[in-house]
Amino acid sequence: MFLSLSYKKFNWQINLYLLGYICIAVIFNGCISGPSLHYYTLENTIKPLEDATPLCLQVSSIRLAESLKRKEIMVRKNSVQVDYYSVHLWASSLEELITNKVNQTFLCYQSEKKLPDYYLHIDVLNFEEVETSTFPVAYVKLVVQFLNPNSMEVLAQKIYSIEKESPNKGVPELVKTFSLCVDEMINKIYADAKNIKKP
């Protein structure tokens, strides 16, 4: 009988240890997995430009400011301080997202031209949320060079800057506002390209 009681006590201790290990494993696994991440891309909200003699524009290169090379969406707290969302990230690099959006808008792949009318080099200086006391503001600033497709000579350079308030404080609406900013810039880029005198 003594052995039976000892065995039961020993068995109960083992079960208690196993239960403790399981609880620790569950808690540890929860700590490792952390909060769920949310990924965003730029929305293609603009239709191909309708023109009797459409220009074919294509991004040849794009360069980001160092602070924008992270996938986390950037937030400007004030004139000297920035921060990043921990769980709201771009689905791919901003270089790829902006390049795809611009090139898909101009649809050069549908053109019969062997070369685009102009290549574009884009420097992305700002692509960030500006923190305000009300709704967040999307701020986008690009420097665009229009290049001769044959010589890659710079024919013109323009600076485009847009600040647009998001309709609410949610990050999905903020990302849609970023897309609208790029849409407006695309229209301006196309209009400026039409006014460039070809060499």
pLDDT tens-digit readout, 82-110: 999 999 999 999 999 999 999 888 777 56
Amino acid at 125: L
Instruction: Answer whether 0.85 is exceeded by the pTM.
Output: no
Query: Would you say residue 26 lies in a domain?
Result: yes
The answer on 181 and 86 residing in a single domain is: yes
pLDDT bucket at 20, cuts 50 / 70 / 90 = low
The answer on 29 and 43 residing in a single domain is: no
The answer on 42 and 30 residing in a single domain is: no
Give residue 30's domain range.
1-34
CA distance 21 to 137: 48
The answer on 148 and 71 residing in a single domain is: yes
The answer on 11 and 83 residing in a single domain is: no
- HSE of 131, CA atoms in CB hemisphere, 13 A: 13
pLDDT of residue 60: 95
The answer on 179 and 96 residing in a single domain is: yes
Query: Would you say residue 199 lies in a domain?
Result: no
The answer on 170 and 72 residing in a single domain is: yes
pLDDT tens-digit readout, 40-64: 999 876 565 566 678 889 999 999 9
Query: Would you say residue 148 lies in a domain?
Result: yes
pLDDT of residue 98: 96
